[in-house]
Amino acid sequence: NAGVTQTPKFQVLKTGQSMTLQCAQDMNHEYMSWYRQDPGMGLRLIHYSVGAGITDQGEVPNGYNVSRSTTEDFPLRLLSAAPSQTSVYFCASSYSGTSGALSYNEQFFGPGTRLTVL
Amino acid sequence: AQSVTQLDSHVSVSEGTPVLLRCNYSSSYSPSLFWYVQHPNKGLQLLLKYTSAATLVKGINGFEAEFKKSETSFHLTKPSAHMSDAAEYFCVVRALRAGGTSYGKLTFGQGTILTVHP
């Protein structure tokens, strides 16, 4: 298993440009999410998905779009990049778990994409 | 609502001495708790996770954490630090909604950078 993969590893954009960060997982996980990491702020949730065709906003969704057409892929789109979006982006996935008994499901993280917006 | 507070942004220890990284949480629902480690320019790796079976949780690389509900704490400890432990550590809470269905939203603490001196 490759686990969670992300491309590209590094990207430099100019203000106003658009791009898509790719994320894929081969573990058949229902749940996928995108985080951004900024110094001193930990990781903050941007968007998440509980399954194909279902997405929802996280803590910091503005400026980002997502879609989930397959279980495996969860791309993150920046429509018009801004310097405030300079960050390291992590994709994660996990098994969703079931209702009833508590579920403590580890999220598996990709290696990250380091994005700079000039 | 849920939140995590890591009480120290930096901790410095000598090799061979004990490590204590402190974490307090708040959650409206019964939480699951995790510690992740991130080495420089790397992704996040799970150290350990709390399950309801035991309040003292053992993880990889000699780390352990104790869940104390009365204190809403989940501190990470290791008896003897090694140079390879130098990294950033994140305490993470994942609240489970009433009924036990996990929606997977992780809330991260701000991170604690552990420095280990020879």
- Check pLDDT > 60 for residue B103: no
d(CA A21, CA A56): 17
Asked if A104 and B42 come within 8 Å (Cβ–Cβ), the reply is no
pLDDT band at B98 (very low <50, low <70, confident <90, very high): very low
Best of A7, A74, A107 to disrupt the B interface (most B CBs within 10 Å) is A107
- Check pLDDT > 70 for residue A83: yes
Helix residue ranges per DSSP H, chain B: none
Chain B residues lying within 8 Å of A92, measured CB to CB = 106
pLDDT band at A112 (very low <50, low <70, confident <90, very high): very high
Which token pair is A114?
């380091």
Of A40, A99, A103, the CB nearest to B110: A40
d(CA A19, CA A41): 24
Of A9-18, A47-56, B59-68, B84-93, the least confident = A47-56
- Check pLDDT > 90 for residue A95: no
Average confidence score pLDDT of chain B: 88
What does the buried/exposed string (b/e) look like for B30-43 if buried means 16 or more CB atoms within 10 Å of the residue's CB?
ebbbbbbbbeeeeb
d(CA A91, CA A114): 12
pLDDT band at B18 (very low <50, low <70, confident <90, very high): very high
Mean pLDDT across the stretch A73-86?
Answer: 97
Asked if B102 and A105 come within 8 Å (Cβ–Cβ), the reply is yes
d(CA A40, CA A82): 20
User: What is the pLDDT, as a whole number, of residue A1?
Assistant: 76
**A84: exposed, middle or buried (Cβ count in 10 Å: 0-12, 13-18, 19+):** exposed
Asked if B32 and A40 come within 8 Å (Cβ–Cβ), the reply is no
B27-84 pLDDT per residue, tens: 777 778 899 999 988 889 999 988 777 889 999 999 999 999 899 999 999 999 999 9
Q: Which residue of B has its CA nearest to A95?
A: B104
A58 touches chain B (CB under 8 A): yes
User: What is the pLDDT, as a whole number, of residue B102?
Assistant: 42
Given a contact cutoff of 8 angstroms between Cβ atoms, the answer to whether B81 and B17 are in contact is yes
Of the two residues B64 and B2, the one the predictor is more confident about is B64
Of the two residues A117 and A101, the one the predictor is more confident about is A117
Of the two residues A44 and A100, the one the predictor is more confident about is A44
Asked if A109 and B44 come within 8 Å (Cβ–Cβ), the reply is yes
Cis amide bond preceding B31, omega within 30: no
Given a contact cutoff of 8 angstroms between Cβ atoms, the answer to whether B96 and A103 are in contact is yes
d(CA B105, CA B27): 12
A10 touches chain B (CB under 8 A): no
**H or E segment to which residue A6 belongs:** strand A4-7
